[in-house]
């Protein structure tokens, strides 16, 4: 089992509404005020929000970019997405946990609806040679120049399958890029649930003989 530090990580959720919400039903002005609330909303200000509206029914899009373009919120008639990327430290994770906890608390989704979760991390080996040697375990053909791994796993205390992809990182030297895709029901104790996601990521990666050091305190 290789234990490596995470250099960069990110997370995105995508939730489809049970039925499309028309412009009036979406109450976007009220929604915008809620997510900009300094005590219970997201880390947004009114200037971060942009609304594009093309007709009176379903063709609209509310977008927000924050955290220096590393945070994104996108809402249409059919779905809403929230993502944060380029996180690096424990402090960054704390902000992510708070942001997503507030998001789910505010949205109050139907208890039978599902969220699609996508997460990723760049985890760095000490050397390029060490990384490539570790990746060789996934190679079954000498003609493959750089090996990668793809699998669907199940872990304790998680209902759905988790799709795990591991390949050489194109962003961080000597690193592997790991992505996770899964789903969960929108009926959770949100602060505890969101706080458990790093463990979910690590426990599913462990099937591929890799684990992670604690998030860095600083960079």
The DSSP call for residue 8 is: E
pLDDT at 141: 79
pLDDT at 83: 98
pLDDT at 55: 87
Domain boundaries, the chain: 2-12+110-212
Cα–Cα dist 12/152, whole Å: 19
pLDDT along the chain (219 residues), means of 10: 96 96 94 94 93 92 95 97 97 97 95 96 97 92 83 95 97 97 96 96 97 91
Cα–Cα dist 13/100, whole Å: 9
Cα–Cα dist 66/73, whole Å: 9
């Amino acid at each position: 089992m290789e234990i490596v530090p995470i250099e960069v990580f990110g997370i995105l959720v995508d939730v489809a509404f049970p039925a499309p919400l028309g412009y009036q039903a979406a109450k976007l002005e009220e929604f915008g005020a809620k997510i900009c609330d300094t005590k219970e909303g997201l880390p947004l200000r009114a200037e971060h929000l942009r609304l594009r509206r093309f007709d009176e029914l379903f063709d609209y899009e509310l977008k927000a970019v924050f955290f220096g373009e590393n945070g994104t919120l996108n809402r249409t008639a059919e779905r809403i997405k929230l993502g944060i990327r380029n996180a690096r430290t424990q402090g960054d994770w704390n902000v992510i946990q708070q942001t997503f906890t507030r998001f789910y608390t505010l949205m109050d989704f139907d208890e039978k609806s599902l969220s699609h979760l996508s997460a990723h991390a760049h985890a760095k080996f000490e050397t390029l040679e060490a990384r490539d040697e570790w990746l060789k375990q996934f190679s079954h053909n000498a003609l493959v120049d750089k090996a990668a791994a793809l699998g669907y796993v199940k872990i304790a205390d998680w209902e759905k399958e988790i799709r795990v992809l591991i390949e050489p990182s194109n962003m961080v030297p000597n690193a592997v890029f790991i992505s996770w895709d899964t789903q969960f029901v929108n009926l959770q104790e949100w602060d505890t649930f969101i706080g458990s996601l790093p463990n979910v990521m690590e426990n599913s990666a462990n099937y591929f003989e890799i684990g992670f050091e604690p998030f860095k305190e600083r960079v």
